[in-house]
C-alpha cells in the first residue's frame, strides 16, 4: 500500500511536482545531515568548554581554600580574606572537597565531606581508579614533580603553582575528571582529584599518610590506601548553557525551514519558467496540431536544449506535413486507379458472364447434334451389312462424339460451379465401395498401358454423408489424369484413410512425368496442362483433354467443404491428396430457369460419363 502511494505521488504526477518533491527531500536530507553534524560539533565544544571551566574553577577553588587557610593564622585579617573571596567571585558556582572516608584527615582546619549518594560515591571510585592508572603510567603527561615545584613562588599557598612566564615551558597538565549533568537542578557537577606535590608537605607535613609521600610511589600508596585521595567537586549552573543550546537549536531549525522555503520558491521559479513553460508550449502546439492546425509551429528562444527540441519538433512536423500531402496525392491517384479497376472488373464480369452464357448455349446447341451423331453411329455399327472398315469408321465416329460430349459436359459443370448454381445431393454411402468401383471402371485402361493400379483402403472407415456423384467425378478425374500422364509399366496407388484432423484423406499417387516447378502455380487453372504436355502454343498439347479436369476437381472440393493439394517431382511422378469432411451440412439453394436449363444440359448419368471417358482415353492411346 505504501509503495503504491509513493509511486502514485512520485511517479504518476507532473514533472514540476516531481522535481519539487525530490528537491525538497534531497535538500532536507542534506540540511538534516549538516545540522546534525553542526549539533554534534557544538555539543562537543560545549562539553569541552564546560570541562575547561571546571578545571579553572577547581584551580580557583583550591587557591581560595588555601588563601583562606593561610589567613586563618591572622584573626584580624581572616574575616577580610573571606569577605574579599566572596566579593571577588564573579561566577556563580559552589565547590566542595570530597573524600571516600574520614579515616585520615589531612586538612588543618576543615573536615572533608563524604559523597552525597551512591552515584557520587561511584564517581569517586571511578576517578580513584583512573587516577591510580594515571599515576602508574607516569603522572601528569610524564612531567616531573620537581620541575613543577621549581615554578612555585615562596609566597604562593601550598600546592598552588604560579603560572610560568613562558607559555611554551608550562607543563601540559591533563588531570582526570568526571562531569555529569543534573537536569532536575539545572546544574553541572565537575569532579577532579587533587594532585599532591612535594611542596604540599610544607603545610601538610605530619598528617597521616603524607610523611611517606616523598618516599614512595603515589600509585603504590593509593594501592595501600595511605595516599591522601581527595576530589574537588564544582557545581556550575547550567541554565544559561541550556538556554543557549535551545536557542541555537531553534535558530538552526529556523534557518533550515527558511532555507527550504527559499529553495522551494527559487526552484519553483526555475522549473516553472525554465523547464515547464517550454514543455507546456510544446504540449499546446501538439494539441493544436492534433486538432488539424498543421500550420502552427513551436517557437522557443532559449538557446538551450529546449530550443533544439522545438527545432526538431518543427522539422518533424514539416516532414509529416509533406508526407501527408504526398499521401493525399497518392490516395487521390489510388482512388482513380480503384475506379478504373472497378470499371475493368465490371467489364470483366460482364465478359465472363457472356462467355459462360456463350459456352452454355453453344454446349446446348452442340449436345443435340452430338447425341444424334452418337446415336446414328451406334446404329451404323450394329448393321450387319457393313464391312470391318466401315464398322471401324462408325466406331471412331461414336468414340469421337463421346469425347466431344465429355468436353461439353466439363464446360457445363465448370460454368455451373462458377455461377454458383451447382446443387448438392447428399446421401449416405461407403467411400471404400465408391473408390473401388471407380478403380474397377478404369482398370481396363490401366491394363492396356501395363500400369499397376493398387487400392489401399483403411478398414473401419465411417459412413460418409456427402454428394456421391461429385465425389465419383473427383475420383474419376484424378484417375483419368494419372493414367493419361503415367507411361507404360508405371504404377498408380489410390489410398483412403482417416487424417489426423478426423477428415477423409483420398490420395492418388502415380509414377508419371511429374509437374515442373514453373507449372505448379497454374496447374489448377482452366484449360491448362503441365508444361511437359504443352507445346510451343497454348493450344498444342501432347496429351488429349480440355485441361479442365483439375480445375473442376478443385472447385468440387471447395463445394464439398474440402481442399486438394499435391506434391510432385519432375520425372518421378505426382501425388494429389483430397481432404473432405465425413459429413456435409445440407445446403438449400434457390432454383431458377438457368439452373433448370443447366441441369437439363448436364443430366448425363455417371456411368455413361465414365464409359465415355474410358473410350476417350482408349482412343488417345
Query: Can you tell me the mean pLDDT for 387-401?
Result: 84
SS (H, E, C) 19-59: HHHHHHHHHHHHHHHHHHHHHHHHHHHHHHHHHHHHHHHHH
Please report which helix (H) or strand (E) contains residue 481, including its range: helix 468-485
Q: Supply the pLDDT for residue 472.
A: 92
Flag whether pLDDT at 171 surpasses 70: no
Span of 60-74, 174-188, 254-268 with lowest mean pLDDT: 60-74
Flag whether pLDDT at 605 surpasses 50: no
Question: Which single residue is written with the C-alpha cell 562539553?
Answer: 47
Return d(Cα 527, Cα 378) in angstroms, integer. Answer: 30
Return d(Cα 391, Cα 373) in angstroms, integer. Answer: 15
Q: Which domains does the chain have, with CATH numbers?
A: 10-146+171-245 (no CATH), 424-588 (3.30.565.10)
| pTM beyond 0.95, yes or no | no
- Would you say 587 and 424 are in contact if contact means Cβ atoms under 8 Å apart? yes
Flag whether pLDDT at 321 surpasses 50: yes
pLDDT higher at 432 or 213: 432
Between 549-559 and 468-485, two packed helices, what is the crossing angle to 10 degrees? Answer: 150
pLDDT higher at 328 or 294: 328
Q: Supply the pLDDT for residue 104.
A: 57
pLDDT band, very low/low/confident/very high, at 107 (cuts 50, 70, 90): low
Span of 306-310, 371-375, 529-533 with lowest mean pLDDT: 529-533
Return d(Cα 515, Cα 572) in angstroms, integer. Answer: 9
Return d(Cα 557, Cα 16) in angstroms, integer. Answer: 68
Q: What is the number of alpha carbons within 13 Å of residue 219 lying toward its C-beta?
A: 12
Q: What is the DSSP letter of 541?
A: B
Flag whether pLDDT at 206 surpasses 70: no
Q: Supply the pLDDT for residue 365.
A: 76
Q: What percentage of the chain has pLDDT greater than the value 90?
A: 19
Q: Which of 583, 570, 564 is nearest to 511 (CA)?
A: 570
DSSP 46-102: HHHHHHHHHHHHHHHHHHHHHHHHHHTTSHHHHHHHHHHHHHH--S--EEEEE-S-S
Grid cell in block for residue 208 = 597521616
pLDDT band, very low/low/confident/very high, at 588 (cuts 50, 70, 90): very low
Query: Can you tell me the mean pLDDT for 607-613?
Result: 46
Query: Can you tell me the mean pLDDT for 391-411?
Result: 82
Pairing type for strands 187-193 and 178-182 reads: antiparallel
- Digit-coded pLDDT (tens) for 10-62: 555 667 677 778 888 888 888 888 888 888 887 888 788 888 888 888 878 77
Return d(Cα 327, Cα 321) in angstroms, integer. Answer: 10
The strand ranges marked E within 460-619 are: 464-467, 491-498, 504-510, 563-569, 573-580
pLDDT band, very low/low/confident/very high, at 70 (cuts 50, 70, 90): low
pLDDT band, very low/low/confident/very high, at 89 (cuts 50, 70, 90): low
Return d(Cα 70, Cα 158) in angstroms, integer. Answer: 9
- Digit-coded pLDDT (tens) for 573-584: 999 999 999 998
Q: Which of 166, 146, 173 is nearest to 62 (CA)?
A: 173
Please report which helix (H) or strand (E) contains residue 283, including its range: helix 277-290
Query: Can you tell me the mean pLDDT for 318-327?
Result: 88
Q: Which of 155, 151, 127, 149 is nearest to 213 (CA)?
A: 149
Amino acid at each position: 500500500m505504501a509503495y503504491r502511494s509513493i509511486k502514485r505521488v512520485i511517479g504518476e504526477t507532473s514533472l514540476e511536482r516531481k522535481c519539487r518533491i525530490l528537491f525538497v527531500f534531497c535538500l532536507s536530507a542534506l540540511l538534516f545531515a549538516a545540522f546534525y553534524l553542526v549539533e554534534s560539533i557544538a555539543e562537543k565544544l560545549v562539553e569541552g568548554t564546560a570541562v575547561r571551566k571546571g578545571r579553572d574553577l577547581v584551580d580557583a577553588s583550591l587557591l581560595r581554600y588555601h588563601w583562606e587557610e593561610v589567613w586563618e593564622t591572622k584573626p584580624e585579617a581572616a574575616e577580610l580574606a573571606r569577605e574579599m573571596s566572596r566579593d571577588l567571585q564573579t561566577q556563580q558556582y559552589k565547590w566542595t572537597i570530597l573524600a571516600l572516608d574520614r579515616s585520615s584527615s589531612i586538612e588543618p582546619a576543615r573536615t572533608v565531606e563524604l559523597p552525597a549518594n551512591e552515584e557520587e560515591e561511584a564517581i569517586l571510585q571511578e576517578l580513584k581508579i583512573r587516577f591510580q592508572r594515571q599515576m602508574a603510567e607516569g603522572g601528569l603527561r610524564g612531567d616531573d614533580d620537581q620541575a613543577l615545584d621549581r615554578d612555585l613562588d615562596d609566597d604562593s599557598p601550598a600546592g598552588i603553582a604560579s603560572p610560568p612566564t613562558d607559555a611554551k615551558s608550562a607543563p601540559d597538565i591533563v588531570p582526570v575528571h568526571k562531569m555529569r549533568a543534573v537536569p532536575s537542578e539545572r546544574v553541572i557537577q565537575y569532579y577532579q582529584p587533587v594532585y599532591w606535590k612535594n611542596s604540599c608537605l610544607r603545610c601538610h607535613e605530619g598528617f597521616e599518610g603524607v610523611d611517606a609521600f616523598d618516599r614512595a610511589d603515589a600509585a603504590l600508596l593509593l594501592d595501600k590506601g595511605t595516599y591522601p585521595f581527595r576530589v574537588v567537586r564544582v557545581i556550575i549552573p547550567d541554565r544559561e548553557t541550556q538556554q543557549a543550546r535551545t536557542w541555537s537549536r531553534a535558530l538552526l531549525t529556523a534557518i533550515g525551514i527558511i532555507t527550504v522555503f527559499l529553495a522551494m520558491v527559487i526552484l519553483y521559479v526555475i522549473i516553472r519558467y525554465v523547464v515547464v513553460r517550454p514543455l507546456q508550449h510544446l504540449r499546446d502546439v501538439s494539441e493544436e496540431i492534433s486538432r488539424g492546425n498543421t500550420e502552427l509551429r513551436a517557437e522557443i528562444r532559449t538557446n538551450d536544449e529546449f530550443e533544439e527540441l522545438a527545432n526538431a519538433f518543427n522539422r518533424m512536423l514539416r516532414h509529416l506535413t509533406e508526407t501527408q500531402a504526398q499521401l493525399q496525392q497518392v490516395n487521390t491517384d489510388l482512388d482513380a486507379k480503384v475506379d478504373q479497376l472497378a470499371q475493368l472488373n465490371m467489364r470483366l464480369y460482364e465478359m465472363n458472364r457472356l462467355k459462360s452464357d456463350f459456352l452454355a448455349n453453344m454446349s446446348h446447341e452442340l449436345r443435340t447434334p452430338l447425341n444424334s451423331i452418337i446415336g446414328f453411329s451406334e446404329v451404323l455399327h450394329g448393321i450387319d451389312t457393313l464391312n470391318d472398315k466401315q464398322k471401324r469408321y462408325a466406331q471412331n465416329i461414336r468414340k469421337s462424339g463421346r469425347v466431344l460430349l465429355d468436353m461439353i459436359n466439363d464446360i457445363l459443370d465448370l460454368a455451373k460451379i462458377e455461377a454458383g448454381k451447382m446443387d448438392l445431393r447428399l446421401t449416405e454411402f461407403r467411400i471404400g465401395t465408391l473408390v473401388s468401383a471407380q478403380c474397377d471402371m478404369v482398370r481396363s485402361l490401366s491394363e492396356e498401358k501395363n500400369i499397376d493400379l493398387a487400392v489401399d483402403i483403411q478398414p473401419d472407415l465411417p459412413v460418409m454423408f456427402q454428394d456421391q456423384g461429385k465425389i465419383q467425378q473427383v475420383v474419376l478425374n484424378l484417375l483419368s489424369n494419372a493414367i493419361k500422364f503415367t507411361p507404360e509399366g508405371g504404377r498408380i496407388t489410390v489410398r483412403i484413410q482417416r487424417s489426423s484432423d478426423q477428415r477423409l484423406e483420398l490420395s492418388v499417387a502415380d509414377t508419371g512425368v511429374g509437374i515442373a516447378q514453373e507449372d505448379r502455380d497454374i496447374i489448377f487453372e482452366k484449360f491448362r496442362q503441365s508444361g511437359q504436355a504443352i507445346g510451343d502454343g497454348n493450344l498444342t498439347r501432347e496429351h488429349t483433354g480440355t485441361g479442365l479436369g483439375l480445375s473442376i476437381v478443385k472447385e468440387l472440393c471447395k463445394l464439398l467443404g474440402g481442399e486438394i493439394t499435391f506434391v510432385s517431382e519432375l520425372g518421378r511422378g505426382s501425388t494429389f491428396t483430397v481432404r473432405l469432411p465425413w459429413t456435409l451440412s445440407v445446403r438449400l439453394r434457390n432454383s431458377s430457369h438457368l439452373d433448370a436449363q443447366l441441369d437439363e444440359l448436364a443430366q448425363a448419368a455417371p456411368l455413361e460419363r465414365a464409359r465415355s471417358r474410358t473410350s476417350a482415353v482408349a482412343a488417345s492411346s
